[in-house]
Chains A and B, each alone.
Chain A
């Protein structure tokens, strides 16, 4: 039962709960009219201390499609945070107005702290470079729907693996499924953090490789997870400029890729996937955005105890 629970870290969910959510999302997608009044009378607060397009809008679209309502802010300057209010006070106040809180905050661990002051479920919509569990749910659903399974795959993560929270969350979660192999493709400065390797990967005996050359491993991959080098994670503009175009996926590089590869990207993208790739049937990132809304509908309904 997920009713009343927080979702801070993908590890908060057991594998059977992840599978239940994916199954519910699949049902919702196939029969939307059956679910359109499921959350009528319920209010979702979306607190975004950092800009977002997809995550915030997909949560709001998900709640509206379930018959509920939304309130919140899209940037901290339009809230009392700008006056110096603590996160704890903001959360306690909003919990009095809403049935569930979705929060994005640039600070790592913000959602965990928020969950300790909230009387309603808190969902982490990204806490700095740390976790992004609903993106992980989106990625899992996409892989499951397009590859038929989340087991026995070789998954390549490419780009900013150091600050890329979507990578951390997905790698830790896919490590819990059987027989997956991971390939981490990044410049040395943006390597996957040690805590992922010594934590989830070691604990689950996951085989992994690290390389800085995408071409060297392209032919081995079943899933390629591209990421953007995020300007907002750098303290030094020079470092960002030097690394931002380190990897650009184009049709040439895809020539040696498997025919049934799926290319994912949490978006927004900048230059890391050439626009020409969009026409390739292996490009799954727009389908991924659609699955994101359905999995969030499943999550909202489950945490509110409506499904």
Chain B
């Protein structure tokens, strides 16, 4: 078993579906981070079998809507003085803006570039979202 030192103040992104961790690591720009980051892949997990974990020894701001879209089963632990002060269970956000992009060439967002791409969650089980303008459906799978 691999042991990684505790972080003092920062964030642990846990229960990432195995294989998705690198995407989150890159999305957060952690490859260029000037602070300590631990990236664990294929760790054993009772819940998932295998999971990825990212430990960030710094207080950073994360858009939980995007994180929820990538993997709604993720748990985020906020660490202060080496203790978990908050445990955030992610879920699919009800509304996302400029995260999912409408691919319908007939949608007004295809030509009016200033218009924000707004999607609303319509089917949490299947991870389906609907464009506010044209009703085109997109799945979280399209985002992953």
Contact = CB atoms under 8 A, between A and B. Distances in A.
A18 B123 CA distance: 29
B139 to A, nearest CB: 12
Interface string B124-137: 00000011111111
A208 B137 CA distance: 22
B108 interface: yes
Contact of A108 (B114, B122, B134, B137): B134
Interface in A124-140: 127-130
Given A108-B108, A130-B134, A130-B135, 17 more contacts: A86-B112, A86-B114, A88-B114, A107-B107, A107-B110, A109-B107, A109-B108, A109-B109, A109-B132, A110-B108, A110-B133, A112-B108, A113-B112, A128-B134, A193-B135, A194-B137, A198-B123
B111 interface: yes
Contacts of B36: none
B132 A195 contact: no
Interface in B88-123: 104, 106-112, 114-115, 122-123
A105 interface: yes
B112 A108 contact: no
A109 B110 CA distance: 11
In the A-B complex, the 5 residue pairs with the smallest Cβ-Cβ separation, listed nearest first, are A109-B133, A108-B134, A107-B108, A109-B108, A110-B108
A180 to B, nearest CB: 21
A217 interface: no
Nearest to A168: B135
A107 B132 CA distance: 13
Contact of B135 (A87, A110, A195): A195
Interface residues of A, number: 20
Interface string A103-125: 00111111011000000000000
B35 to A, nearest CB: 41
A195 B130 contact: yes
Nearest to A235: B105
For chain B, which range describes its interface: under 10, 10 to 19, 20 to 34, or 35 or more residues?
Answer: 20 to 34
Contacts, number: 52
B137 A113 contact: no
Contacts of B133: 108-110, 112-113
Nearest to B126: A198
A144 B110 CA distance: 38
A108 B110 CA distance: 10
12 contacts: A87-B112, A88-B112, A105-B108, A107-B107, A108-B108, A108-B133, A109-B133, A109-B134, A112-B132, A112-B133, A128-B134, A130-B134
Contacts of A130: 134-135
A88 B114 CA distance: 9
Nearest to B110: A107
B130 A107 contact: no
Contacts of A199: 122
A105 B135 CA distance: 16
A88 B106 CA distance: 18
Nearest to B113: A86
A194 B122 CA distance: 12
